[in-house]
Amino acid sequence: MKRSDRLISLTRYFLERPHELTRLSTFAEKYDASKSSISEDVNIIHTMFEKEGIGSLHRYSGSSGGVSYIPYFNKTDSNAFIEGLCNTLEDPDRILPGGYLYMSDLLGDPQTIRQIGKAFVSAFYEQQIEAVVTVETKGIPLAYAVAAQLGVPVVIIRRNMQITEGPSVSINYVSGRSKRIQTMVLPKRFLNEGMNVCIIDDFMKGGGTVSGMVSLLEDEFHAKVVGIGVLAEAQDEENEQMIEEYTSLIKVSHLEMDKQRITVKKGNYFSDK
């Protein structure tokens, strides 16, 4: 195989298997090439990945060592994407009763979801995430976009128990500003105890749902929540968020229902802190 062909094949291999550790000898056998040639190929791909802002290839020494692709995307690209998304969401026609935004069309667009997933991956790439957790239903495509880049499973917390999913753990929680008592359920087989997890949600208004998810994961599954990512948060000066540590891509504020006016700006992911 020509080097150019091998480079293309290796690049595809790494992009499809993020965080998967592969020994150089495996590539040497696969492509019938020497380890030194494969090592040079890895160096070339690593340089281009960093130049293009899509991550890097990490090498691990020792008998069980090898190389793995660690995704990390250019924050400048995410910044331009989110600015465009903010402009789109400021359309008054998107204002829904209760102070919500219509975002279903965006959450159904594969390219938009992919870009959002990249931004979250860049926010949490240093964490050793073993699963991405979300609550049904609108956060599901976002969770899959993040999980696909990290190479980890998606765990979906249900609103109601499903008999086909076996024994489950359920908790009651207070849903944000509405103060309504609601229930969330997670089947025991969905998540192993003690895992590092990242929570992804589409919209956070008071933080009640996310707070309930944290309680369920930490108290019942002894999981460690190493990151919380929300696509959009509602900024309300009268009510503090129930969650303090989180990453938001978009911040919704100054919603005036009577004037059909809304302000949408970049979230805390783009702050200087």
pLDDT, tens digit, 9 for 90 and up, residues 231-256: 999 876 555 677 889 999 999 887 77
pLDDT in tens, 135-194: 988 899 999 999 999 999 999 999 887 777 778 898 888 876 567 888 899 989 899 999
Cβ proximity of 42 and 48 under 8 Å: no
| Cβ count near 77 (within 10 Å) | 16
Q: Are strands 196-204 and 224-234 parallel, antiparallel or unpaired?
A: parallel
Q: Which domains does the chain have, with CATH numbers?
A: 3-71 (1.10.10.10), 75-270 (3.40.50.2020)
150 SS3 class: helix
Whole-angstrom Cα distance, residue 51 to residue 49? 5
Q: Are 234 and 208 in contact (CB under 8 A)?
A: no
Q: Is 243 helix (H, G, I), strand (E, B) or coil?
A: coil
pTM of the entire structure? 0.88
The CA R_g of the chain, rounded to the nearest whole Å, is: 21
